[in-house]
């Protein structure tokens, strides 16, 4: 058997060659560590700050860090500003819109309690004003019902009104009374009788009342008043109006005053130039 032929210098050793007896074997290569496995999606990479064991067995994530002490929490903080419903409740209460103020006030109290906004006091004020306004309206309605159903109340109110109206229209004056003329001859409010022997502005020469069931119309009332006053003037002064040196004025009911019970005709004599009368004109023939 022939000896194996060695490979040429620098060539590739024959894997099937049999080593010579007594030859020194080649040292085995040192084992190398396997490469680190790739990080799996959703888990921290090995050796990262988040690859730590949590106190309860889990691995904390970077989003689960507690807030530092003293930092304000975004939850539970009161909303800034004043509640709009509470402001509206106070405004409507001041304006006297009572039912609206009451409703807005109750809503404002509930909302300020829920949101923490300021304005609860305004809402309470709106509720109070609304309640007082409603009570006031109830009182007015009660008085109206009383006036419509109570005979004594109606009689007292009517009497008081008639007395006040009589003072305004001169109905408290009687035939022959002397008085001072007001600046507005259509308003005899506060006119009182004075002594006819002292200087005075006018003297009542005729008084009457219409008896028509309904207002007869202004033209008819004026005609009736003039006929009455001319006749009364002649009887009281002692001369016809056309021949007298005195002037005459009169008052009669209007359609508006008729609805308040005014039926009175009044005629008085005065000087044409507005100068005072020095004595009574009754029977004077002036």
Classify residue 161: in a domain, yes or no: no
Let me know if residue 102 belongs to a domain: yes
Does residue 239 belong to any structural domain of this protein?
yes
Q: Does residue 26 fall inside a structural domain?
A: no
Same domain, 141 and 197: no
Query: How far is residue 195's CA from residue 132's CA, in Å, rounded to a whole number?
Result: 54
Spatial neighbors of 101 by CB under 8 A, at least 6 apart, are 89, 90, 92, 93, 126, 127, 129, 130, 133
Same domain, 122 and 187: no
Reported pTM: 0.43
Lowest mean pLDDT among 57-71, 131-145, 163-177: 57-71
Let me know whether 124 and 201 are in one domain.
no
Report the length, in residues, of the chain.
286
Q: Is 285:236 a contact under the CB 8 Å cutoff?
A: no
Q: Which residues contact 21 (CB under 8 A, 6 or more apart)?
A: none
Domain count, the chain: 2
Within-domain flag for 96: yes
The last residue of one of the domains, among 114, 147, 180, is: 147
Assess whether 205 and 141 both reside in one domain.
no
Residue 179 lies in a domain: yes
Q: What digits encode the pLDDT tens for the residues 182-223?
A: 766 555 666 778 888 889 889 999 999 898 889 999 999 999
Q: Is residue 177 part of a domain?
A: yes
Same-domain pairing of 187 and 132: no
Residue 97 CA to residue 89 CA, distance in Å, equals 9
Its domain, for residue 240, covers 171-270
């Amino acid at each position: 058997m022939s000896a194996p032929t060695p490979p040429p210098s620098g060539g590739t050793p024959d894997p099937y060659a049999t080593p010579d007896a007594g030859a020194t074997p080649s040292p085995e290569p040192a084992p190398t560590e396997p490469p680190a496995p790739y990080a799996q999606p959703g888990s921290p990479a090995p050796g990262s700050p988040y690859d730590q064991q949590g106190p309860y067995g889990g691995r904390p994530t970077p989003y689960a860090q507690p807030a530092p002490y003293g930092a304000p929490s975004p939850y539970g903080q009161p909303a800034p500003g004043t509640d709009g419903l509470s402001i509206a409740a106070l405004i409507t209460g001041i304006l006297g819109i009572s039912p609206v103020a009451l409703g807005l006030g109750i809503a404002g109290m509930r909302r300020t309690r829920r949101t923490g906004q300021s304005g609860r006091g305004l809402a309470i004020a709106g509720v109070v004003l609304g309640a007082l306004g409603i009570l006031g309206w109830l009182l007015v309605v009660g008085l109206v019902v009383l006036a419509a159903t109570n005979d004594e109340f109606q009689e007292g109110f009517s009497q008081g009104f008639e007395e006040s109206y009589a003072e305004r229209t001169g109905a408290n004056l009687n035939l022959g009374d002397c008085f001072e003329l007001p600046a507005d001859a259509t308003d005899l409010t506060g006119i009182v009788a004075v002594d006819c022997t002292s200087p005075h502005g006018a003297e009542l020469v005729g008084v009457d009342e219409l008896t028509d069931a309904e207002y007869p119309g202004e033209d008819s009332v004026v005609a009736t008043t003039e006929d009455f006053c001319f006749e009364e003037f002649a009887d009281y002064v002692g001369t016809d109006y056309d021949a007298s040196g005195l002037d005459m004025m009169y008052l009669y009911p209007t359609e508006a005053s008729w609805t308040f019970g005014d039926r009175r005709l009044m005629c008085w004599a005065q000087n044409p130039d507005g100068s005072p009368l020095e004595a009574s004109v009754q029977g004077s023939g002036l």
